Structure 1
């Protein structure tokens, strides 16, 4: 695929948006691994001198333009942490900070006008598809950053301080264009205080989950709730239950559009298990009609005992949860006979990018290098209540520690990509997943829809991607 020069980019092309993503690649040899289409920008205009203090030659008098997504992680980690670090090192630099809920609506016009920020947190429902930015030559690649001396130890490169495999989502044609900073993931959350008060023990198998749900219901509390208006919150429960049962290859086959991948017995068992939650009355009444904030608030109000959600939960609810609420996380309890019972949906999330036309690209690289320091990661864990992708980081925040503890080995971490890569599949299958959880369609009917949607993508001329671990 040819990549147009940035000057050739039309406003229509940039503003139309797509829903494709980068191919996943093996954890080893990330910078040389094969991936999908990518920009020709090499980042050569930012050199890594190897100087531990200022490897990119930052001019400390230049302003730095930083845009942060206004989502679950908030922006205090930036305004009260990373930007403070930058100002301490470059006191003459002005930080131009903005926080946006809709990144595409506010930042696509800036790209089209050739005036993008220096650092962009491209996240949220309104994010700009990164593959589009890469293909249009609008992002700088991050090899100079990754090969630079780390902030804490000049004898170790930045890349060598990161958890294995976390760069995968941001790789295109063997180069990293997005730094997924938060060690994100999905889990089943519960309140340790409620469980202690009630004498309940978190389940370790699906049979235990169902038995506990009956006990919770008898106590006058709904066992489960979820973001009914946003069925994508349910993908983790389905995929992880199925992939724990049949192994990670179940998800790989689905991502790679293999024939009849959705007909795998583990998918059927997982769908039936989730369906049984509503069938037995274990879901909070009205859940299919509520949004993510409503479901999280009802969870914090202890109207429901379990909530499937991502790593941003605690921070997004920081002003809502009672002071004695104790966030605890488990992976969805495995079905009987599961071959990979500790598998967890976990990878780098919250992508940060450096636009190719950034006015202060050296400053942007240095800002990211600071974010990847021990201090920068500690700030994020405390302010955003989530771990980062830094190895061996000190995590004192309880919700962040609870989530980090779920990933036992690299082999037990995975990230399904199908719904991210192919918008046609997502638009057809995702609503029906919600309908299944609401009891409006059967598991078999959902699986039929998902298989037909996947087959339609496979037979189409849309660019295909390959999942590997």
Structure 2
């Protein structure tokens, strides 16, 4: 979920645009997939076979929209699209890169003219829950049940555990979560080695280390308040899960009453608010992610919270001597349920196929190609990020950041903190959480007020009958 420009449409604004089309065309939710158990694809389909399980018409045009953020778009233009073209030489592929997904595509959904596959990511991503509730997303169950390319078994058999579940909305997989992302505190290991600094294991050590970094003339800790405040609420959620266990995040996703005012969340908010008070530069609230990240590459910032796409996103700005490394989030208390070294890691970055696409069969096949060994391996080579396909990166020489992420996963073992799905399910709530995170970190509200305000918003979303509710069990 790499950051983009700061347009953040609420769930209602997305629904407004989509709803106009619904009023004109009838209730989408009633006719999106037909009446069969397996969802129908939009547009024409040809003869189905083991090598063409969705019946892609060989000369049907294919339109792909790619969020061009931290991952760039070369993985699409240089790997996945050529693989599709090899399978269907007569097909014309239209490639659309953008950082403004919702701004670009909301009018098209409202007008019924949608692409065939979309990388729905960044801070201007569309609300997946709203799209699904309006019948605009194709159920990807046939994708995961289809034969794997170049192997035996199904596509699902080739994936890491939990990948299909990460894309559920309700009880069906409408999202392909493609990247296995690791989250934490990023730093320049070359700089730290030269200074004799070691990442901290708990917040007392973290405070002391940040003091040393500040004394050396650097900003000790920074994040971009203008468009990437969600990077910081991730850190609060990770700390809360360390204190109270992964059930805290499950309760957040399920809008459980009182979770945001619970002791683990309050303690996590207090710990991070103290870091903000002592070490954040107020000017960072008005900066974008690229501005802050580039300042770190210039040796001006110690720690920066992000996901493992960061290294690739900054490759053009990163000096040769800079060595990205990932530090796990420090423990908050001596009685944390999860040990130091626990990391948040999960399948991330959503790829979707619109149910009303002219060539949704082609969209499904494109995703199947992405999930092939060649498609996944090529993606890692282009982006430095590991995919959800088992063993696809085996034997590849990894970059320092990717290697550090892999090492952190190996050290974490079973102590993996799982994803916050409310980002996909309840965009209106997530947008409010960003605002409150900035208010907390830049000292405008206390940790208690943060917890009360966020819980109030979660309660309001839960009480809103117009919002489809989701449930996560693990």
Work out whether the TM-score is over 0.5: yes
- Per the alignment, residue 362 of structure 2 pairs with 363
Whether 1:466 aligns to 2:468 is no
- Single out whichever of 338-347 and 435-444 deviates more from structure 2: 338-347
Q: CA shift at 1:37, angstroms?
A: 11
CA change 1:37–1:224 in 2 (3 A) is farther
Give a deviation string over 1:193-233, Cα, whole Å, max 9, x none.
11122122222332322222222222222211111224222
Work out the number of aligned pairs and report it: 439
- How many Å apart are 1:113 and its aligned residue? 3.6
Q: CA RMSD in A?
A: 2.8
2:460 alignment partner in structure 1? 456
- Give TM-score scaled by structure 1 length: 0.85
How many angstroms does 1:240 deviate by? 0.5
**Counterpart in the other structure of 1:214:** 211
TM-score calculated relative to the size of structure 2: 0.84
Q: Given that residues 268 and 447 in structure 1 are in contact (C-alpha distance below 8 angstroms), is that contact kept between their aligned partners in structure 2?
A: yes
Q: Deviations over 1:39-77 (max 9, x none)?
A: 5453345799562x4333433333222111122211100
Partner residue of 1:444 out of 426, 445, 448: 448
Question: How far 1:11 sits from its partner (Å)?
Answer: 5.5
Higher alpha-carbon deviation: 305-314 or 54-63: 54-63
**Alpha-carbon distance change, 362 to 321 in structure 1, aligned in 2, over 3 angstroms:** same
In 2, Cα distance between the equivalents of 1:225 and 1:181? Answer: 28
Contact 2:127 2:426 in 1 (8 A): no
Structure 1, unmatched stretches of 5+, are 1-8, 17-35
Match in the other structure for 2:350:
351
Mapped to 1, the partners of 2:308 and 2:376 lie a distance apart of 15
SS in 1 for 2:78: helix
Do the aligned partners of residues 260 and 356 (structure 1) sit closer, same or farther apart at CA in structure 2, a change above 3 Å counting?
closer
1:138-157: CA deviations, max 9, x gaps?
Answer: 3322222211221231x221
SS in 2 for 1:286: helix
**Could you say which residue in structure 1 is the equivalent of 2:143?**
145
What is aligned with 2:372? 373
Q: 1:357 to 1:453 in 2, by over 3 A?
A: closer
SS at match of 2:279: coil
The correspondence of residues 313-328 of structure 1 with structure 2, limited to 5 A, is: 313-328=310-325
Structure 1 counterpart of 2:162: 165
Mapped partners of 2:84, 2:464: distance in 1: 47
**Does structure 1 residue 13 correspond to structure 2 residue 19?**
yes
For 1:356 and 1:401, locate their aligned partners in 2 and report how far apart those are by CA, in whole Å: 38
| Separation of aligned partners in 1, 2:432 and 2:85 | 48
CA contact (8 A) 2:221 2:304 kept: yes
